[in-house]
Every structure is written in structure tokens, then in C-alpha cells.
Homo-oligomer: A and B are copies of this chain.
């Protein structure tokens, strides 16, 4: 019954997403001039996605085979577990299914996003509100699709295995492959998209703005379409895959903890309640989906209003509704008669999660908006040149790790203590899990706001390139500025939820190790091997970031060379008499980005496996070392991702602050210095930072699935 509710609500969300898609596609799609540009973006984005998913698909199938072999031949099933062949089959199939669902969600979201931009641009010619609504609803297609697909996938897998008469509490561990599939796709989607977007951006800027002296989004720049495509593949497809993974991994991790809680409290829950306990995460997510739908539909802006206020109102509605649904869900499902007080402990944990997400939104704003001290200090330091701009920006980037850390620390401990005081046995970690669910409750709305970013950015580009009047450009500029804020917020949210979800997945890993027959008494980092595991985990974060950032440079070089070549081959391009070959630039970035994503991707997947195997073979402490690798790596990842995301955002907005006329305004030497910081921040905030979110979760899911190797 419960699972029917979950499946029903996720299908409802998919239907709503589909009808929003219809709503967007029915809108006016502009003049032929505008369509020409929009069509080029569509083609470019779809070509990239096709090639990218072909690469990812091949890699996924190869890994699927590996997983099957591993599970079928190397994992001895132990008492109470399904036979090896069954387990191998379910794990492999759920891995492939997770990869597939993630891919479908990404493709559908992108399909609509690249069609929403021109409709938003067209609507901007008459009304701000109309443009805002189209962009947000276009984004909501992606947001709803991603979250609903992740939920639907888990629900379907559960239904199938339940129908095959597996014991419900065993099911979560049988479908961990789903989360790993999602992580695996997300890693490459985010890496490839992130490299693409920044290689195109940096490449277009360096040749266009710096060498040829033409403005941004100028149609004479052969890389301009690639740049607009990049916003879609990075922010929309990449972040979509990221949050797909978060919700999928968190769903499964929380289900594992739920079944653990049931086992730790024998006799407290009836068999029906045990299923309710385990399905609670799915129900909570389904309620969150409904809350997000309502929130999105309520957004409406007055013509003279800051569009951000309208989006914030929608978010508040979503948060309040999600909290109510959450509290209802805990009262309904986490309420054993023998412990009448337990439910509200968990409800409060959910509130902690929602509060954490709001805190992250505000902290991110503080560090990345130019109304506040940090960004202002970077702008002020730009007066003495690019070097001081970089130093000040890096100092802000380092500093901005403090508040999020305190927030996460407080959230983890408070929810753990609240959970533990529920009266149930071993319920502390479940409290943390519930807080994570709370935090992810509004994921669909957040993702809609995120995809709003590239849609409005593209709308601005289309308006600019089709030479529309100044006042329309102003309207899209306002929306674009809001889009920049929402993109930054989503990253803060994504890293916060990744941190909480990772903590959940640690426990799932330890449970899995225990289920494999050799429980760890502790993850004791005072042991040399375990300490070294932690050191290696943290180092992976640094190394991975290095590879991600260099990948951008490498791919950007190929763009620069191509643009220079086109300018030389046909001088008419710069005069505006010939049309540059946009398609070739798009192709070149695509190939470059896909090639460049392989090295960091393999490092991320390979290093935890290598560490686990080496320490198992040499020192017989594979599992404990991997656990420490995972946990300290997560700590490093949280901090580095925050540094990179917020640092990049702060540099970007310091430049924008100067462009409002401060310190000499646009074109001044101060502005030039700030442009340097902005360019440096680009691969930080759009490639390495977001890829680290995914890395954190990938570390958890890869170790979870491959745990049998290390024990």
C-alpha cells in the first residue's frame, strides 16, 4: 500500500513534469532570428549529450560486468542472504537501472531546458513575470523529473524484489547498486559537463574579449554557441545528475538504516510497521515532491519586483509544506505504540534538516553576494591589481569553510542526539538520516531554481545575439542575475546535503561490512594504516581537483586554437560579414571535454578500490582503511568543494559589483583585475567544486557496493 503511494506520487510528479513541458513548448518561440540561435544551442547540447552518454553507457556496461563477476564469484554469501547468483544479478541490474534512470532524467531535463530559453527570451519581450514563470517551469521539468525518477526507480526495484518474495529488510542492501549506478553516471556527467562549460567559457572569453576585443555573447565569436551550450550541459545536466545521485543514495542509505533500526528494536514494530519504517524515506521524498510542485506553481512576480523575492516565496512555501508533510509522515510511520514520543523526535530531526538547508542558502549568499563584506573586500583589493584580487579572493574562499562546517557539525550532532533520545534503541543515526531527508525534501524545487540559471542565461544570450532593444535586454539581465544567485545557492545546498548523505552512507558501509561477517569494532585512526587511509582519502580530493582544473585548461586550449584559426581563415567573421562555424567549435569542445573527463573519473573510481585492495592484501585491514579513506576524504571534499564553489562565486560577483560602477566601473584597471579573478573562479566553481560533490558520494557508493572486495 505504502509503496503504491510512493509510486503513485512519483508518477504524479512525472505527469506534472510532462505537462509543464507541454506548457513550456506551447509558448511563443520568438522570431526566426532568435530561433536560429536557439536551434544552434539545442543541436550543440544534444550532440554533446548523445556522445557523452554513449561514453558513459559503455563505461557503465563494462563496470556492470565487473560487478557481476565480483559478486558471483568472489563474494561468499553468508547466512540469511540470497544465493550469490541472485545477489550478483540484483546488484548488477540495479546498477545498470540506476545509471539508466539518471541518464533519462538528465536527457529529459536538458531537452526542455534548451527549449525553454527561447520561450523565456520571447516572453521577456512583453512581461517579466511571464518570462520568470516559463524559465522556472522549464527548470521544474528537470527538477521534478530528476527527483521523481530517482524515487520511482527505487520504488520499482523494491516492488519487484518484494513481489519475488525477498524479505523486506534484506531488500535495501540488494539494491545499493542503484545508488552506485547513479553516482557513476553523475561523476562523468558533472565532470564532462563542467569541463565543457568552462572550457567553452574561458576559451571564448580569452580569444573573444581579450584578444579580439569583442563583447561577451557576440555572434562574431565562433565559440559563443559552445559557451551557451555549456551552461546547459554543466548546470542543468550536471547538477541534475548530482542531485539524482544524492536523492537515490540517500533513499537507499536511509532504508538500510531503517531496516537496521527495526532489527535493533525487536518486538517494538509490527511487520507492517517495519515496512513503514523502511519506506519512510520514500514517503517523505514523495511528500517533498508534492510540496515542490505547489511551490513552483505558486511563483509569480510583479513587474517592479526583484524576481529573487518571488523565487524565495516559492521556496518558503515548499519548505513549509515539506515540513508539514514530514511531520505527518513521522506521526504516521515512525510511531510505535510502545514509544508514543518517538515520532516528534524524528519530526524535529526533519526540521533540523530543513533548517540546515535554509542556513546553507543564507551562508552562501553572505559569501557570494556583493551586498556583504567578503565580496566587497575582494572588489576593494582589485584596486591594487590582479594579484591582490586573487589573494583576497583565496582568503575569502578559505574562510568561507568555517560557517558551513559549524552548521553541518551542529546538524549532525543535534539530529543524532535527538534521534538517540527517541526512546528506541540505536536510533541516533536514524535521526541523522531523517535530518538528511529533511534537507533533501525540497530538492526538486532547488533543482528547478538551479536549471532556471542556464535557461535565463541562454535567454539573455539569445536576446543579445538577435539584437533586441535595450529594455528587453535589461529584463533578461535581471533574470540572469537572479539565475547566477540560484546557481550558487544550489551548490551550497548540494554540498550540505552531500555531507549529510555521506555520513549516512558511512553507516551503511559499516552495516554492510558487518553483514559480510566481519564487523568493525571502530574506525580507529590512531592505527597507522587507518591514519594513512585517511591521509590518502584527503589527498585524493586535492589530486582530483587538480585533474579537473587542468582538464579545463586543456580543453580550453583547443577552443582557443579553433577560434583563432577561424578568425584567420576568414577575416569577414570579425567584420560581421561572414557567419562563423559555430558547429565546429561545439564539436571541438565536446571531444576535448569528453577526453579530459576520463583521467579524473578513473582516479575517483580507481583509488578507493586500489587502497582497499592494497591494504587488505598487505595488512589485512582493508575495510577499516577504506572506511577511514572514505570519511576523511569526505571531510576534505566538503571543505575543498566549499572553498572552490564559494570562492568562484565571490570572484564572479566582485567583478559584477565593480560593473555596477564601483572603483571605476566597467573597463577600468580595477575591473580588469576583477576579470582575472572571475576567470580563475570559473573552473573552481563550475568544474572542480561541483565534481567534488559527486566524488564524495561516489566514494560512499563505490565502497558500499565493492565492500565484499575489502573484507
Contact = CB atoms under 8 A, between A and B. Distances in A.
A529 interface: yes
Contacts of A386: 386-387, 676
Interface string A570-602: 000000000000000000000000000000000
A532 B417 CA distance: 13
A412 B535 CA distance: 11
A553 B381 contact: yes
Interface string A484-499: 0000000000000000
Given A409-B536, A535-B405, A542-B643, A394 B507 contact: no
A538 interface: yes
Given A408-B535, A413-B529, A679-B387, A542 B631 contact: no
Nearest to A532: B409
A117 interface: no
A416 B619 CA distance: 12
Contact of A524 (B385, B524, B553): B524
Contact of A525 (B387, B525, B549): B525
A507 B526 CA distance: 8
Contacts of A679: 387-388, 391
Interface in A382-406: 384-388, 390-392, 394-399, 401-402, 405
A632 B532 contact: no
A628 interface: yes
A552 interface: yes
Contacts of A520: 526
Given A549-B398, A632-B534, A635-B538, A627 B390 contact: no
B388 A553 contact: yes
Interface in A667-691: 675-676, 679-680, 683
A546 interface: yes
Given A386-B676, A405-B539, A413 B532 contact: yes
A639 interface: yes
Given A524-B523, A528-B503, A538-B635, A549 B391 contact: yes
B398 A206 contact: no
Copies of this protein, total: 2
A679 B549 CA distance: 21
A391 B521 contact: no
A686 to B, nearest CB: 13
Contacts of A202: 387-388
Interface in A288-336: none
B432 A546 contact: no
Contacts of A538: 538, 632, 635-636, 639
Given A394-B549, A525-B523, A539 B402 contact: yes
A531 interface: yes
A520 B521 CA distance: 13
A675 B683 CA distance: 22
A513 B408 CA distance: 28
A528 B428 contact: yes
B542 A401 contact: yes
Contacts of A416: 528
A632 B643 CA distance: 18
Contacts of A388: 202, 206, 553, 679
A560 interface: yes
Interface in A349-383: 381
A278 interface: no
Given A385-B676, A546-B396, A391 B535 contact: no
A639 B636 contact: yes
Interface residues of A, number: 75
Counting chain B CB atoms within 10 Å of each CB, which of A387, A507, A542, A546 scores highest? A387
A14 interface: no
A542 B398 contact: yes
A553 B383 CA distance: 13
A29 to B, nearest CB: 37
A526 B413 contact: no
Nearest to A431: B528
Interface in A401-435: 401-402, 405, 408-409, 412-413, 416-417, 428-429, 432
A52 interface: no
A639 B525 contact: no
Given A390-B680, A398-B546, A680-B387, A412 B627 contact: no
A428 to B, nearest CB: 7
A159 interface: no
A417 B621 CA distance: 13
Contacts of A428: 528
B506 A526 contact: yes
A402 B676 contact: no
Contact of A522 (B429, B524, B635): B524
Counting chain B CB atoms within 10 Å of each CB, which of A206, A392, A520, A545 scores highest? A545
A402 B539 CA distance: 6
Interface string A542-562: 110111011011000000100
Given A391-B553, A522-B524, A384 B560 contact: yes
A519 to B, nearest CB: 11
Interface in A100-143: none
A526 B391 contact: no
Interface of A: 202, 206, 210, 381, 384-388, 390-392, 394-399, 401-402, 405, 408-409, 412-413, 416-417, 428-429, 432, 503, 506-507, 510, 520-526, 528-529, 531-532, 534-536, 538-539, 542-543, 545-547, 549-550, 552-553, 560, 619, 627-628, 631-632, 635-636, 638-639, 643, 675-676, 679-680, 683
20 contacts: A385-B676, A391-B552, A392-B550, A392-B553, A395-B546, A398-B545, A398-B546, A399-B550, A405-B536, A408-B535, A417-B619, A522-B522, A523-B526, A524-B524, A525-B525, A525-B534, A525-B628, A535-B635, A538-B632, A538-B635
